[in-house]
Amino acid sequence: MLAESLFFSAVLFVIGVVGVLTRRNAIIIFMCVELMLNAVNLAFVAFAQVYGMAGQVFVFFVMTVAAAEAAVGLAIIIALFRHRKTVNLEQINLLKG
């Protein structure tokens, strides 16, 4: 099932990329990133079936890091929202220049 899994993984990943490029809401973009991470997890798991447990261990770590990242990222978004009253990324551009 390696080839099929990789196929699905690639498709999900690309969908995530398209979402990141297309959407303007910060939270939705964040969720698209999570989707990408999940796609990669699928690929790891599929490889683990062929090449050994290292793949699944890595998935473990990926999830952990994703959790940490989600926590911090959402905290940032909350802080941003408090200041700018919006999560529309096009209006959050004070870092320009």
Partner 1 sequence: MTQVELPLFYTFHFYLFGLIAVVSAVLFVTRKSPVAAALWLVNTMFCLAALYVLLDAQFIGAIQVLVYAGAIMVVFLFVIMLLNLGHPSELADARGLGWKLAAGFVGLALLAEVFTLTRSKIPLKFLELKPGALATQIATEGAIAPVAKPLFTEYLLAFELTSVLLLVAIVGAVVLGRRTKDAG
Partner 2 sequence: MLLSGVQEAAQHAAAGTAMDWLWLVPVLPLLGFVLNGAISLFTATKFGPADPSAAGHGHGHGADSHASDGHDHAHPEPHRLAWLSSIIGPGVLIAAFGVAVAVFMAYRAGAGEHGEPVVQNYFQWVVTGDLSISASLMIDQLSLVMLLVVTGVGALIHVFSVGYMREDPGYPRYFAYLNLFVFFMLVLVLGASYPVLFVGWEGVGLCSYLLIGFWFSEKANADAGKKAFIVNRIGDFGFLVAMFLLFSNLGSLDFTTLRSTAGTLQPGGVLVTTICLFLFLGCTGKSAQMPLYVWLPDAMAGPTPVSALIHAATMVTAGVYLIARSSFLFALSPVASLTVVVVGALTAVFAATIGLKQWDIKKVLAYSTVSQLGYMFIGVGVGAYAAGIFHLITHAFFKALLFLGSGSVIYAMHRAYHATHSHDDAQDMRNMGGLKKHMPWTFGLMWIATLAIAGVPVFSGFFSKDEILTSVFVRARESTLAEAHWFGIPGNVVLYVCYALGLAAALLTAIYMTRMMIYTFHGPNRSGEKERAHLAEAPWVMTGPLVVLGVLSALGGLLNLPAFIPVKSTAVLEHWLHPVVGESALQITNGAAPEISHSLEYTLVGIAVLIAALGIWFAFYRLKPEELVPKSQSKPEEGFDRVLEQKYFVDEGYARFIVNPTLTTSRNLLWRGIDVGLIDGLMVNGGAWTARAFGWLGSALQSGQVGTYAWVLVLGVLAVLGAVTLR
Is the four-CA dihedral 28, 56, 51, 54 of positive or negative sign? positive
Which of 61, 97 has the CB closer to partner 1? 61
Asked if 22 touches partner 1 (CB under 8 A), the answer is: yes
Query: Minimum CB separation from partner 1 for residue 97, in Å?
Result: 23
The two structure tokens encoding residue 11:
């498709």
Out of 40, 79, 84, 93, point to the residue binding partner 1 (CB under 8 A).
79
Residues forming beta bridges with residue 88, ordered by sequence position: 25
Q: What is the 3-state secondary structure (H, E, C) of 25-65?
A: EHHHHHHHHHHHHHHHHHHHHHHHHHHCCHHHHHHHHHHHH
Residues that bind partner 1 (CB under 8 A): 1-2, 4-6, 8, 10-19, 21-25, 27-28, 30-32, 34-35, 38, 41-42, 45-54, 56-57, 59-61, 63-72, 74-79, 81-83, 86-88
